[in-house]
Structure 1
Amino acid sequence: MIFYFSGTGNSRWAAELLGQCLDERIVSISETVGTSTNFTLKKDEVVGFVFPVHGWRVPRIVDEFMRTLELLDTNSQSKARHYTFCLLTAGDSIGRTMERFVKLIREVKSGATLDLNAVESVLMPESYVGLPGMDVDKPEKEHKKIEDAENAIVRFASTVKERKIRQGDVPLGWEQLKRGPIPDFFSGPVGAFFTHFLITDKPFRVESERCVQCGICAKVCPVGDIDGGKGKEPKWKNNGKCLTCFSCYHHCPHHAIEYGNRTKHKGQYFFGKRNG
C-alpha cells in the first residue's frame, strides 16, 4: 500500500509509477481527509509514503495524516513487520524533511513498529512561485528532471521489490538524499518562516477579466479551500487549511489567479501540462 499526497501532480505520478512497478495499491492522502484513516494490510504487503517537500519540511496534510493513521493486519494477532519506504519529490533540495518524517512514522499505530527500510528523493519540475526569483523550470530542464526521476524511481522500485534491508542504523539511500547546503538552517529557521508566514491563502486573488468561472481551481484544491465551481468566481476560505501548493494557480487555464504581485509574469506547471 502506497500513501501519497500531491498538489501539482509530481508526487501522484511518482506514486503511480511505484504502484505499477510493485503491483501495489495507492491511496491519496487528501482523499482521506474527514474519513477513516484505518487501513488493513495484507500479508507481506509493503508500506510506502510519497509526498512533496513543503518549505523543507513535511507538508501539514501529511503530518496530520500520520498522526491519525492506524495500520491493521489481516491477521489481527500478527506482529510481522512490513517493509516500509518513503520517496520525496522536490524542486530543489529536501533539507531535513526525512529526519522529520522519521519521527512521525515511529508514532504510527500498527501491529508492529514501522521502521523505514529504504528512502529516496528525486528532483521534479519546480512549482513553487510564491517568492521573488522563484519560477517554474524551463521546458528543457523540466523534461530532464522528469526523465532522471523516472530512472531513479524505477531503480528504487527494484530495491523495494527485492526487500533490501537497511544498513546499520539508517535506511538504504539515507546518505544519498538530496539535502542541499546547510539543511538544518533550511528545515529549521527558514522552514519555520515558511510555515508561519508563507503558507497562507490570503494573498490569492482573481483577475476577474480573465476568469471564465470554469471551476477548475476549486476542483483541484487538495484541501477544499476554495469556494467556487462552474459559474462562480473563486474565493479562498481563509480557514487555515491552505497548503500554498499553488495547484489552483497552476491549473487555471487563463492564468487568472495571482498570489499578490509575486506571481505576475511567472509560468505555470502541473504534471502533464505540456503534453495535455
Structure 2
Amino acid sequence: MIFYFSGTGNTAWAAETTALALNDKLVFIPDYLDNNFLIKPAPHEAVGFCFPVHGWRPPVVVRQFIQRLVVETPPEYVYAICTAGDTIGETFAYLRQDLQQVNLHLDAAFTLIMPESYVGLPFMDVDKIEKERSKKQQAIYELNQYIGVIEKRQNNTASLHKGRWPLVNSHLIGSFFAKYLITDKPFHVNHTRCVKCGICKDVCPTHDINGGLGYEPAWKHNNSCTVCFSCYHHCPHHAIEYGRQTQKKGQYFYKKHKL
C-alpha cells in the first residue's frame, strides 16, 4: 500500500510508477482525512509514503493523515519517497517522528530531485525547460534504483539531499512557512484573463476552491490549502496569482512537457 499526496504531479508520477512496479495499491491522502485509517497489512506487505517537500518538511496534509492512522499490525517494511526541487532539510526527521507516534518505523527513505514548482517567494521560479528535462531523466533512473531497494526490503538513508543548512531550513524557515506561508489568502484571479473554465477547481487536491465551469475561482480560506500551486500552474491563461510573488513567473506541472 502506498499513501501519496501530489499537487503538480511530480509525486503522483513517482507513486504511480512505484505502485505499478511493485503491483501495489495507491491511496490518495486527501481523500481520507475525515476519519481514522486502519492499517492491517498482509504478511510481508510493505507500506510506502510519497509526498513533496513543503518548506523543508512533509506537507501539513500528510502529517495530519499520519496522526489518523490506526496500526493494528506494524508492516514488515516502511519506506518513504519525497520529491523536491532542490533540498529537503530534515524532512525525514519530521516524518520519522510522526510515524513513531503511531507505532510505525521508517526503514528506508529516498529523495527525488524533480522540476521546481514552488513560486511563492521572490527568488523562486520554475526551472528552464532544459533543466526540467534533465531532472526528469535523472529521476527516472534513480526511482528505478529505489524500487530495487524496496523490493529487497533493504534499509536506506543515503543521498537524501539535505542541503548545507538542514536544521535552519526545516526548523527555523520551516516554522515561518508553516505559520505565515501555508495559506490561500494571497491567491486571487485576474478577471480579464479568467475564462471560467473550472480547471483550477478540478485540479485542487484538497478541494479548497469554489467555482467550476462557468464561474471564477474563489478560495475557501478554511485552512485546507497546502499551497501546492496546482491551481496556479494548471491555469491555461495564467489568470491566477499569489499576491505579487507570481507575476511574470513560469508555470509547471509534470505532464506539461513530455520528455
Alignment of 1:62-211 (within 5 A): 62-72=62-72, 81-108=75-102, 113-164=103-154, 166=155, 172=156, 174-211=157-194
* 1:251 equivalent in alignment to 2:238: no
Say if 2:110 and 2:158, in contact at 8 Å, map to a contact too. no
Distance 2:36 2:159 in 1: 35
Aligned AA for 1:128?
Answer: Y
Distance 1:80 1:62 in 2: 19
Give, in angstroms, the shift of residue 40 of structure 1. Answer: 3.4
Distance 1:11 1:203 in 2: 25
Distance 1:158 1:274 in 2: 27
Which residue of structure 2 aligns with residue 61 of structure 1?
Answer: 61
149-158 or 174-183, which moves further after superposition?
174-183
Give, in angstroms, the shift of residue 80 of structure 1. Answer: 6.5
Instruction: Quickly say closer, same or farther: Cα 1:80–1:245, change in 2 above 3 A.
Output: closer
Give, in angstroms, the shift of residue 35 of structure 1. Answer: 4.6
Give, in angstroms, the shift of residue 209 of structure 1. Answer: 1.1
- Please say which structure displays the higher CA radius of gyration: 1
Any idea what the Cα deviations from partners look like across 1:10-47, whole Å, max 9, x if unmatched? Answer: 10100011111111111110121325522432221110
List gaps (5 residues or longer) in structure 1.
73-78, 167-171
Say if 1:82 and 1:114, in contact at 8 Å, map to a contact too. no
* 1:221 equivalent in alignment to 2:204: yes
Aligned AA for 1:211?
Answer: C
Distance 2:69 2:117 in 1: 28
Any idea what the Cα deviations from partners look like across 1:139-192, whole Å, max 9, x if unmatched? Answer: 11001111111111110100110112x3xxxxx1x2421000110000011111
Secondary structure of the structure 1 residue equivalent to 2:13: helix
Say if 2:35 and 2:68, in contact at 8 Å, map to a contact too. no
Distance 1:212 1:191 in 2: 36
Hey, which bits of structure 1, 4+ residues long, moved more than 6 A? none
Say if 1:55 and 1:191, in contact at 8 Å, map to a contact too. yes
Which residue of structure 1 aligns with residue 254 of structure 2?
Answer: 271
Aligned AA for 1:265?
Answer: K
Aligned AA for 1:247?
Answer: S
Distance 1:175 1:14 in 2: 18
Which residue of structure 2 aligns with residue 26 of structure 1?
Answer: 26
The RMSD of aligned alpha carbons is: 1.5
Distance 2:87 2:74 in 1: 34
Secondary structure of the structure 1 residue equivalent to 2:249: coil
Aligned AA for 2:64?
Answer: E
228-237 or 26-35, which moves further after superposition?
26-35
Number of residue pairs the alignment of both structures matches: 259
Q: Tell me the percent identity.
A: 47
Say if 2:41 and 2:75, in contact at 8 Å, map to a contact too. no
